[in-house]
């Protein structure tokens, strides 16, 4: 779905540990300090479907069909209740993960990422800006404190490499910007601010 709303949708993506939550918080603070109306959110959400998904990461992974269905239900609710109303009223939404994560992570489980994209774009607005935080898998895992054998179900090295490659494949989209997440926190924030026009 194209985004012809008055507000802006800014999405931060990247594999686990690339600094998405840190940068989403810093970006939201920066924009609020400029007097802008900002809603910061994340996926999976803390709603009923998102909570079930988060629980499954440690208690036992769902089948790919059930997992994909829950991510779609969670996102529909997020779009209907927070994303679309905020951008329709002229506000800025900053998201820590969106449907590009579904293309990556559920793509890594064997579903065609393009089919995932089409299913999502039938109801979810495209972002105005997609910030892809890029970091080698080993460095990302080091940051989240995951050592061999201790990764949770979503954090296996091979699938994270698939996810990193998928995110990198999106860098030529007209709304995408690649950010070098290996730099220090303030430098990553500076790279992000260079690309944000509000």
Ligand X SMILES: Nc1ncnc2c1ncn2[C@@H]1O[C@H](COP(=O)(O)OP(=O)(O)OP(=O)(O)O)[C@@H](O)[C@H]1O
Contact 92, 38 (CB under 8 A): yes
Which position among 7, 14, 19, 44 is part of the footprint of ligand LXEULUCI (CB under 6 A)?
Answer: 44
Residue 120 binds which of ligand X, ligand LXEULUCI, none (CB < 5-8 A, kind-dependent): none
For the chain, where are the E strands, in sequence order? Answer: 8-13, 38-42, 92-96, 129-134, 176-180
Calpha distance 140→134 (Å, rounded): 9
Contact 88, 7 (CB under 8 A): yes
**Which residue number, 35 or 145, has a Cβ lying nearer to ligand X?**
145
* 49 touches ligand LXEULUCI (CB under 6 A): no
What is the nearest approach in angstroms of ligand X to the Cβ of residue 84? 24
> Token digits for 56?
């499954």
What is the nearest approach in angstroms of ligand LXEULUCI to the Cβ of residue 166? 11
Contacts of 120 (CB under 8 A, 6+ apart): 72, 75, 99, 102
Residues 86-125, one symbol each (x = binds ligand LXEULUCI by CB under 6 A, - = not), give -----------x---xx--xx-------------------
> Token digits for 37?
């109306």
**Which segments are annotated as binding site?**
14-21
Positions that interact with ligand LXEULUCI (CB under 6 A): 16, 43-44, 71, 97, 101-102, 105-106, 154
């Amino acid at each position: 779905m194209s985004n012809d709303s008055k507000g802006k949708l800014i999405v931060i993506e990247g594999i686990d540990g690339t600094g998405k939550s840190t940068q989403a918080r810093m970006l939201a603070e920066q924009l609020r300090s400029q007097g802008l109306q900002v809603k910061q959110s994340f996926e999976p959400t803390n709603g009923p479907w998102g909570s079930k998904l988060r629980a499954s990461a440690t208690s036992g992974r769902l089948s790919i069909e059930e997992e994909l269905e829950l991510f779609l239900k969670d996102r529909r609710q997020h779009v209907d209740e927070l994303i679309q109303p905020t951008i329709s009223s002229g506000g800025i939404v900053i998201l820590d993960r969106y449907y590009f994560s579904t293309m990556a992570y559920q793509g890594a489980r064997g579903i065609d990422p393009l089919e995932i994209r089409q299913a999502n774009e039938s109801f979810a607005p495209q972002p105005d800006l997609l910030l892809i935080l890029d970091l080698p898998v080993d460095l990302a895992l080091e940051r989240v404190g995951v050592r061999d054998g201790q990764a949770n179900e979503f954090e296996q090295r091979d699938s994270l490499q698939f996810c990193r490659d998928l995110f990198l494949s999106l860098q030529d989209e007209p709304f995408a910007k690649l950010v070098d997440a290996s730099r220090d926190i303030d430098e990553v924030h500076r790279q992000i601010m260079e690309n944000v026009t509000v």
